[in-house]
Structure 1
Amino acid sequence: MKTYFFKKLLTFSTVILLLLITACNQFLSLEPPINNISADLVFNNEESAKGAITGIYSNMATVGYPNGLVNSIATLTGMCADEFINYPFQLDEYYKNAILPASSATSWNQSYQYIYTANIILEKVANSSAIGNELKMQLEGEAKFIRAFCYFYLTNLYGDIPLNLTTDYQANGMSARTAQTKVYDQIIHDLVDAQRLLGNDFYTVERVRPNKWAATSMLARVYLYTKKYGDAEIQASSLISNTAMFSLKTDLNQVFLKNSTEAIWQLYPNTAGRNTNEGVLFLLTGTPTNVSLTQNLADAFDPSDKRRLQWIGTITASNKTYYYPSKYKVGAISALSEYSMVLRLAEQYLIRAEARINLDKVELGIADLNTLRTRARPAPTVAIPNPLPALPLTLSKPDALLAVENERRFELFSESAHRWFDLNRTNRAEVILPLIKGSNWQNTDKLFPIPQTELNTNPNVKQNDGY
């Protein structure tokens, strides 16, 4: 890990801490890690303690799995699902749902590095006499949020996973897999604590540090995934009703701007001379060299849907038309106007809609879907007098749930692994993906393989079925 990844946010002491944490989390050393003394130095003043947590966000934006590059979680899972076509041959294993255990370590390793860092912060902050109580609460809340965030993605990618809650690297290195239900229990516990500990307001004018509402957003998502629909509705409603801080942008071209009113949490771009990695990767100027959107996705939209018109770009090269995400409008431009979106308000409407429909509040759920459809509706014309009409409130429950699936696809494509997770959690992957992937698809593909490096070093971890 190179220190320039953190130069805008980290003190020298924090760089040392994170370098040592990274090394320790490989679980290969037979000697105890030497980071305890270094970590004590980091947490002996408030500024370097803050740097320990902001370093995680800086890393995520630069090299971490939410980083928006071709190896990010959004892109890799989009290849596994029905969103992206892959061009570099080295990623064919994702596009063909034939992931090798030797290739699946990035999300795993980085997540556990962030978790280990969070565990150190939780341990050291609690014992530090140099940090005031208010900052202690904030750092503890952010660390618990990060730990929950990482475990959410780990368990949805890999299923049952080791649940490491301490800085005992030797015990962590031998952890067996914990049942997903218990992992979710811990995620919820951490998010509830984070919600209590974190403040209502953003810590700066930027929306790049998780606060109470980021924890609320993730709680709503986790409650939905675990079918606690009443709790999901409550959490999503609390966010939607906070109109002083959050509102849907009526102009779709403004949704992904920095500090958008729709943003609950964004990552600050940390590479000189560019805005978001997503903008650099997705915006095509010629024949794709990484990814493009599938024809299947582009054709699924109503042609009048503004999300189709404004969030999907087209380019013709060598007599072939390619589709690409254009949610982010700029890339390699030094003047910052866009930040990478991690959590945003529109998802909360979709969460509440699905929760309400499952609670037999079908009309209310459809009304939430229609809120997003109204935003995506263009002005009527003579040729199209009723573009993107509202969904009828009389839809049956199964049809309403199918409408949720479609609206989630149209609203959240190319973001944060939503499509892949949606297909898997609703058992729709085995219905939809065989039609697209053909013989490349097996139901065991719904989980990524446990990385071979983990199997080699931890005899208590067994491989997922199908690998």
Structure 2
Amino acid sequence: MKQNHLFRIPSFVLLLLILISCEDFIEVEVPNNQLIQEVVFDSDDTAQSAMIGIYNQLFLAEFANGHFSSVTVLSGLSGDIIENHKNYPSRIQFEDHQLEPSNPENLYIWSSAYNVVYMTNSMLEGLLESKNLSPALKQQLEGEARFIRAFSYFYLANLYGDVPLLLTTDYNENRLASRDPVADVYLQIIEDLEISRELLSTDYRDGERTQVNTTAATALLARVHLYLENWEQAEALSTMIIETTMQYELLNDLDEVFLANSREAILQITPLGGGGYMTQTNEGFNFIIDPVIYFMAAFKLNNEFPEAFDKNDKRLLNWIGFHEGENAFFPYKYKIFTSNSFPITEYSMVLRLAEQYLIRAEARAKMGNLVGSIEDLDVIRDRAGLPLLAETDPGINQENLLDLIFEERRKELFAEWGHRWFDLKRSGRAEEVFGPEETWQSADLLYPIPEEERMKNPNLSQNPGY
């Protein structure tokens, strides 16, 4: 297995990354880095190193890294699957839907996502001004940077609704930016992903599935169109990926799905972004309740969640663990709790093929193609070892089929990138699930704009209910 030591970046590139990685960049003036930028974009090697720095940042940025303040954890808590195993006050707010604008974890999501946006804007500006890069590499790096910007804005839009749409590193333009309508943010996401698809190739630039290719851009775009209820586009895009059988496949062994460069992976994040000192994923470290140091466990699964599975479901058997002493179930998609050895065997999953089958199943069901939808859903069910719907209930109606699709999404994508929380929000099912809670109100569907950001920028309005 190929291992690239991505943390070995030239010192002047690190300087550039320091200059452009101020988390509160909307409010705090950044130093002039024009000279550094000229050096970085003077050659193919240094430009590629700068792009590697952005990939590394995805492992360091709180919203993306799978750690305590990530979308995977915090939006997982907002859903109905993951619970706090320790009473950590700021994270309890996410589980109880009682988020306060001063919540520090909420600030970490916002600021880290915008930090990545800023870095991609800096990359795109540097590429535009560069005269010395080879045309092919210039095109490739632009496609990668546009994807990562779109990826960051996807989560900002789904967590906060209207957000500032910042497409420059200009401090004067950014520091007092107001919120743009979420529809405009989505238009920019689509534009970036469409351009990314045109610029990138189907190959992975370094052979590792930790760098963006056109399939990754297509996969995220399929999800975007699903969320926007553009069913035909979602179906067409997911079909393109599903038919790429030479490069991707659903793996029969569920314990192989989350391995580094698995054939189910469309995009992953390597732990090498953290410097290579620890080589486990943050998801493995966060979610596994270790047999020895179980007292460190911060999260667990809702006890009712494992009961929803058929007893023969491979996802129950392979992806859910149980610690008898703590009397707690836990996500067990990643098997390594802690490691500092090489080669690295697990990467954090960002996009994978199974989601594309579920996207197409939902889009087809919405368009009335129930037979095609059942076929896609049965691919997922068959891999899980479940009876095929085409045999057990071929005449299922549209409403019940959609319910089953969302249930399969719940079981397939749990503990991954807040999928369950976003599914409840976009489908209107959140009220049904959380309505009985005394603390629930519809305003909880959006997180608050962080108080610290609004103190620095008076043009940032607040979401209703906060």
Q: Shorter-chain-normalised TM-score: which range?
A: over 0.9
Counterpart of 2:170 in structure 1 is: 168
Query: Percent identity, aligned pairs only?
Result: 40
One-letter amino acid of the structure 2 residue matched with residue 393 of structure 1: P
In 1, Cα distance between equivalents of 2:76 and 2:282: 16
Q: Is 1:424 paired with 2:425?
A: yes
- Give the Cα separation in 1 of the matches to 2:23 and 2:337: 35
Q: 1:73-222 alignment to 2 at 5 Å?
A: 73-86=71-84, 87-90=86-89, 91-103=91-103, 104-222=106-224
**Cα RMSD (Å) of the superposition?**
1.8
Contact 1:62 1:269 in 2 (8 A): no
C-alpha distance 390-190 of structure 1, shift in aligned 2 (>3 A): farther
8 Å Cα contact 1:377/1:388 also seen in 2: no
Q: 8 Å contact 1:357–1:397 — kept in the other structure? A: yes
Q: What one-letter code is carried by the residue in structure 1 that aligns with 2:462?
A: Q
Q: Identify which range, 391-400 or 185-194, moves more after superposition.
A: 391-400
Select the residue among 31, 36, 48 that pairs with 2:34.
36
Change (3 A) 1:48 1:71: same
Using the alignment, how far apart are the partners of 2:6 and 2:244 within structure 1?
A: 35
The answer to whether the Cα contact below 8 Å between 1:221 and 1:232 also exists between their aligned partners in 2 is: yes
The answer to whether the 8 A contact 2:67-2:282 is kept is: yes
Whether 1:278 and 2:277 are equivalent positions in the alignment is no
Residues 359-381 of structure 1: CA deviation (Å, up to 9, x unaligned): 11011111101100000007xxx
Partner of 2:51: 53
Select the residue among 224, 230, 233 that pairs with 1:231: 233
Deviation at 1:390, TM superposition (A): 5.7
Give the TM-score taking structure 1 as reference length.
Answer: 0.93
In the alignment, the residues of structure 2 paired with residue 84 and residue 421 of structure 1 have an alpha-carbon distance, to the nearest angstrom, of 14
CA-to-aligned-CA distance 1:189-224 (integer Å, 9 cap, x gap): 100000000111111221110100000000100010
Structure 2 distance, partners of 1:370, 1:390, is 10
Q: CA deviation at 1:28?
A: 3.7
Judge conservation of contact 2:61–2:112 (CA < 8 Å) in 1: no
Cα displacement string for residues 372-424 of structure 1 (whole angstroms, at most 9, x for unaligned residues): 0000007xxxxxxx699966231111111101110000000000110010000
Q: Spell out the pairing of 1:406-421 with structure 2 (5 A cutoff).
A: 406-421=407-422
The DSSP-based 3-state class of the residue aligned with 1:199 is: coil
Cα gap change, 1:459 to 1:325, in 2 (>3 Å): same
Deviations 1:16-49, CA, capped at 9 Å, x for gaps: 111111238533446x631222222211122221
Task: Give the Cα separation in 2 of the matches to 1:79 and 1:391.
Answer: 34
Task: Tell which deviates more after alignment, 159-168 or 46-55.
Answer: 46-55
Deviations 1:157-196 (A, max 9, x none): 0001110111212211211111111111110010000000
Moved more, 141-150 or 67-76: 67-76
Question: How far apart are 1:51 and its partner, in Å?
Answer: 1.8
1 CA distance for matches of 2:23 and 2:16?
10
Q: CA deviation at 1:449?
A: 0.5
Q: Determine if contact 1:161/1:179 at 8 Å carries over to the other structure.
A: yes
The aligned amino acid for 2:336 is V
Residue identity opposite 1:73 in structure 2? V
Aligned to 2:21: 22
Structure 2: distance between partners of 1:266 and 1:203: 14
Q: 1: distance between equivalents of 2:354 and 2:58?
A: 22
| 1:296 alignment partner in structure 2 | 304
TM-score normalised by the chain length of structure 2: 0.93
**Aligned with 1:101: secondary structure?**
coil
SS at match of 1:102: coil
Matched position secondary structure for 2:330:
strand
Q: CA separation of 1:63/1:116 partners in 2, compared to 1, >3 Å: closer, same or farther? A: closer
Separation of aligned partners in 2, 1:29 and 1:67: 24
Offset of 1:331 from its aligned partner?
2.5
Corresponding residue number in structure 2 for 1:383: none
SS at match of 1:439: coil
Per mean C-alpha deviation after superposition, the further-off stretch among 46-55 and 282-291 is: 282-291
Q: Which residue of 2 aligns with 1:455?
A: 454
Judging changes above 3 Å, is the alpha-carbon distance between structure 1 residues 253 and 237 closer, same or farther for their aligned structure 2 residues? same
Give the structure 1 partner of residue 323 of structure 2: 315
For structure 1, list consecutive stretches of 5 or more residues without a partner in the other structure.
1-5, 379-385
Give SS of 1:355's match: helix
Residue of structure 2 in register with 1:3 after alignment: none
Aligned residue number for residue 245 of structure 1: 247
CA distance in 1, matches of 2:8, 2:97: 38
Give a deviation string over 1:221-245, Cα, whole Å, max 9, x none. Answer: 0010001100000000000000000
Match of 1:382 in 2: none
Q: How far apart, in 2, do the equivalents of 1:272 and 1:120 lie? A: 28
Contact 1:266 1:342 (8 Å CA) reproduced: yes
Q: 2:331 aligns with which of 322, 325, 337?
A: 325
Aligned counterparts of 1:141 and 1:455: Cα–Cα separation in 2: 32
Bigger drift between 367-376 and 100-109 goes to: 100-109
Q: Is the 8 A contact 2:258 2:346 kept in 1?
A: yes
In the alignment, which residue of structure 2 is the partner of 1:446?
Answer: 445
Contact 2:218 2:238 in 1 (8 A): yes
The answer for the alignment partner of 1:342 in structure 2 is: 350
8 Å Cα contact 1:80/1:420 also seen in 2: yes
Number of equivalenced pairs: 450
| Aligned 8 A contact 1:81 1:433 in 2 | no
Q: How far off its partner does 1:455 sit?
A: 0.6
Q: 1:389 to 1:58 in 2, by over 3 A?
A: same
Q: Structure 1: how far apart are the matches of 2:345 and 2:441?
A: 42
Check conservation: 1:373, 1:390, Cα contact below 8 A.
Answer: no
Tell me the SS of whatever aligns to 1:341: strand
> For the residues of structure 2 that align with 1:204 and 1:268, how far apart are their CA atoms?
13
Distance 1:414 1:24 in 2: 26
CA distance in 1, matches of 2:365, 2:62: 35
CA distance in 1, matches of 2:444, 2:66: 23
CA distance in 1, matches of 2:180, 2:282: 34
Q: Supply the distance in 2 between the matched residues of 1:387 and 1:224 (Cα, whole angstroms).
A: 24
Counterpart residue identity of residue 10, structure 1: I
Contact 1:304 1:388 in 2 (8 A): no
- Per mean C-alpha deviation after superposition, the further-off stretch among 162-171 and 407-416 is 162-171
1:142/1:194 contact within 8 Å kept: yes
Q: What residue is the counterpart of 2:399 in the other structure?
A: 398
